[in-house]
Amino acid sequence: MESAKPLIELVDLLAIAPMLAIFVLSLFPLMIKVFRGNRELNPYVTLFFALIGIGLATALTATLSGAKPRAYFNDAIVFDGFVPWASYLIYLVTAASLMMSIDHVTTRGRQFSEHVFLMMNSSVGMLVLVMANDLIVTFIGIEMMSLCLYILCAMSHEDTLSKEAAFKYFVLGSFASAIFLYGIALIYGTAGSTYLPDITQAIGPLLTTSRLFVVGLGLLILGFAFKVSIFPLHAWTPDVYHGAPTPVTAFMATAVKASTFIAFLRLFNSEGFLDADRFFTVLQWLAVLTMLVGNAAALFQDNLKRMLAYSSIAHSGYIMVGLIAGAFGDNYDAGATSVMFYLLSYTLMTLGTFALVAMLEKHENTVVSMSSIQGLARKYPVMALSLAILMLSLAGIPPTLGFFGKLFVFSAAIEQDMYWLVFWGVINSIISVYYYLYPVVKMYMSDEEPAEVMGNHMLTRFIVAATAILVVVMGIFSSPVLKAVQRSVVNLF
């Protein structure tokens, strides 16, 4: 027994310093509110605290990211190449969603400090998830992230859909958590460990010998699949994305996906999958069906939020293509790189589009439909152009970031000779062009008078414009971005 070693060392606390920073700063507004007799602070002060926390966390992550990858807390969490990349994405999304929240009618009300607290702690959960090196920690991360989200979904006061969304999300999410937990149990039973490196080691031999292990792994994947809305566990997505307050939707659609896919990538970093043909077949078809279901359903949506929800399902499918190429091919790095690049591009595009939707919602219970954006170009040329750029990027038109995301994902799959998968990816890209062009048609090509007036939301406007600019600039200069991703993938634990 090496009992001399203390349970927690100082370096361990240093590794989770970014989380602590966010957590502590998220407490400030809430505590002040309590001491002021439950009177809400000026929302901008609350936002200021939150942004300080995120800024602090960014600085801490930046200082930590130089070190060699190693494990902390008795190997329960790791800090390696994935972590800074995913953390920055999470910080970006959290900051942007909070800025949207302060402008948005459903979230800026009398519970803004609670809203900020929940959103920031959801992102702490995501950080745990990204760093987890043990399935139990992964589970804790997922739960922490999700529990905050369940409440956030319900935060709209008047909107009944919000309550429905929260309830649906909660019930189905708990179900998925149970599945995930059951998977962990079966894996622990067969592999004898919940430690991730042990499991990825064991995948090779156990996949062929132990049927229980296969079931356990399958359940684990299903648990993840629910969070990133992969077919057949995607059905909650449109309802929840639609019902939740739009800033929360933006947060869910981007940060949850980014962090869960990183956890997914960790699980799949195993040579054991190399000849797991059956797993490959199943996952391949899940990816294809995810893309098809998402794109086909998005074609028929009139509600912009629902359309974006289906589009986000489809994008999960594209990301799966890169994931499968990494896991089942002999070049894990190329697959992981393409996934991480795609996550960045997807995050920026989705954040921008939801931010624009948020601006069109003037009161709770607003439904932003295609007719809400007709003639937008005449009244708000900058916003319309930004949305057009984001839509074209989502459709993968060069030279935007979305094009390069698809290029890297497809090329990772072609490297592994997965032509069938890529073929479906292309077919789906073509289908998706139709519904991504439709908002552009409505904004630029309809003769009717502009239907909606946007609120004067400076911060949200800034997000829309900034994401549109980033999507173009990072697309044209995609090489430095790609290089950064490649460096971080090489630097794995």
Partner 1 sequence: MLLSLITFLPLVFALLLLVIPSSQKCFIRWSALVFTIIEFGLSLFMLSKFEKGTAALQFVERIPWVPELGITYFLGIDGISLWLVILTTFLTPVIVAGSWSAINTKVKGFHISLLILETAMLGSFLAMDAILFYVFFELSLVPMYFMVGIWGGANRIYATIKFFIFTMVGSLMMLLAIIYLMYATHDTMGTFSASVLDFYELKIPFVAGDFMNPQTLLFFAFSLAFAIKVPMFPLHTWLPDAHVEAPTPGSVILAGVMLKMGTYGFMRFVIPLFPEAAEYWAWLFLFLGTIGIIYGALVAMVQPDIKKLVAYSSVSHMGYVMIGLFALNMFGVTGALYQMLNHGISTGALFLLVGMIYERTHSREISQYGGLAKAMPIYSILFIIVTMSSIAVPMTNGFIGEFLILLGTWQANKIFGALAVTGVVLGAAYMLWMVKRVFFGPAGPLVKDTHHPLHDVTLREMLVMAPLVVLIFWMGLFPNHFLDWSKPSIDHLVKTRDSYNLTETK
Cα separation, 106 vs 6, whole angstroms: 47
Asked if residue 441 binds partner 1 (CB under 8 A), the reply is: yes
Min separation Cβ 442 and partner 1, Å: 10
Asked if residue 299 binds partner 1 (CB under 8 A), the reply is: no
- Closest by CA position to 19, among listed 113, 108, 144: 144
Min separation Cβ 287 and partner 1, Å: 16
Cα separation, 347 vs 399, whole angstroms: 17
Asked if residue 423 binds partner 1 (CB under 8 A), the reply is: yes
| 204 versus 398: smaller Cβ distance to partner 1 | 398
Binding residue for partner 1, selected from 397, 421, 474, 489, defined by CB under 8 A: 397
107, HSE (Cβ side, Cα atoms, 13 Å): 31
Cis peptide before 232 (omega within 30 of 0): yes
Binding residue for partner 1, selected from 175, 300, 420, 434, defined by CB under 8 A: 434
Min separation Cβ 426 and partner 1, Å: 5
Min separation Cβ 97 and partner 1, Å: 30
Cα separation, 61 vs 85, whole angstroms: 10
Binding residue for partner 1, selected from 57, 147, 422, 454, defined by CB under 8 A: 422
Asked if residue 414 binds partner 1 (CB under 8 A), the reply is: yes
Asked if residue 300 binds partner 1 (CB under 8 A), the reply is: no
Binding residue for partner 1, selected from 27, 469, 482, 492, defined by CB under 8 A: 482
The residue with tokens 């309802």 is: 239
Asked if residue 197 binds partner 1 (CB under 8 A), the reply is: no
Region of 111-119, 147-155, 311-319, 430-438 interacting with partner 1 (CB under 8 A): 430-438
Residue 79 DSSP label: E
Q: Which amino acid is residue 166, in one-letter code?
A: A
Cα separation, 164 vs 88, whole angstroms: 32
- Closest by CA position to 361, among listed 105, 78, 94: 105
| 308 versus 418: smaller Cβ distance to partner 1 | 418
User: Which residues, in sequence order, are CB contacts of 194 under 8 Å at separation 6+?
Assistant: 134, 135, 136, 184, 187, 188
Min separation Cβ 52 and partner 1, Å: 37
Min separation Cβ 16 and partner 1, Å: 33
| 443 versus 463: smaller Cβ distance to partner 1 | 443
Min separation Cβ 443 and partner 1, Å: 10
Residue 119: in which H helix or E strand, if any? helix 112-131
Asked if residue 382 binds partner 1 (CB under 8 A), the reply is: no
Min separation Cβ 429 and partner 1, Å: 6
- Closest by CA position to 238, among listed 317, 318, 312: 312
Region of 241-249, 264-272, 353-361, 481-489 interacting with partner 1 (CB under 8 A): 481-489
Residue 70: in which H helix or E strand, if any? strand 70-72
Residue 71: in which H helix or E strand, if any? strand 70-72
Asked if residue 479 binds partner 1 (CB under 8 A), the reply is: yes
The residue with tokens 């702690």 is: 121
Asked if residue 444 binds partner 1 (CB under 8 A), the reply is: yes
| 62 versus 382: smaller Cβ distance to partner 1 | 382
User: Which residues, in sequence order, are CB contacts of 71 under 8 Å at separation 6+?
Assistant: 77, 78, 133, 493
User: Which residues, in sequence order, are CB contacts of 314 under 8 Å at separation 6+?
Assistant: 290, 291, 293, 294, 295, 298, 428, 432
| 180 versus 410: smaller Cβ distance to partner 1 | 410
Asked if residue 27 binds partner 1 (CB under 8 A), the reply is: no
| 62 versus 430: smaller Cβ distance to partner 1 | 430
Residue 373 DSSP label: G
Binding site for partner 1 (CB under 8 A): 392, 397-399, 403-404, 407-408, 410-411, 414-415, 419, 422-423, 426, 429-430, 433-434, 437, 441, 444-445, 478-479, 482-483, 486
